[in-house]
Amino acid sequence: MYTITVTNQNGWKNKGNTSSRSNCKCGSWKNHWEFFSNKNLSLQKCSLLGCSNPAEQAAHVFRSEEGMYEWLVPLCRSCNHPTNEEYFSLKIGAVLVNANKAETCE
């Protein structure tokens, strides 16, 4: 499973310490999201509920009830706070891409 569409918008968290990770074979996490979603990230709006800014980054997120399974989602720079420990809501219909390199591009 490479992509999912958000149907349960609550309970998401930003995954911290991902900026120091090496990118995948796609060249960047933005490229990874674009390749597997078949969409242009720069044409997306931020996926955080209540934000209408243009998306700028493919942010690593997870839901605690799904374990530590990580997804990439388009967020604007101001909504992508990897040190923020608060839960947030994503917009229904937001497209998330599997961030596990071993299951996708490697």
Q: How many residues does the chain have?
A: 106
User: Which amino acid belongs to residue 88?
Assistant: F
**pLDDT recorded at residue 5:** 80
Average pLDDT over residues 92-100: 93
Who contacts 32 (Cβ-Cβ below 8 Å, separation ≥6)?
Answer: 23, 24, 26, 58, 72, 97, 99, 104, 105
**pLDDT recorded at residue 83:** 62
| Beta pairing class for 57-63 and 71-75 | antiparallel
pTM of the full predicted structure?
0.88
Instruction: Tell me the per-residue pLDDT of 63-79, one tens digit each, with 9 for 90 and over.
Output: 877 666 899 999 999 99
Q: How far apart are CA 9 and CA 85, in angstroms?
A: 17
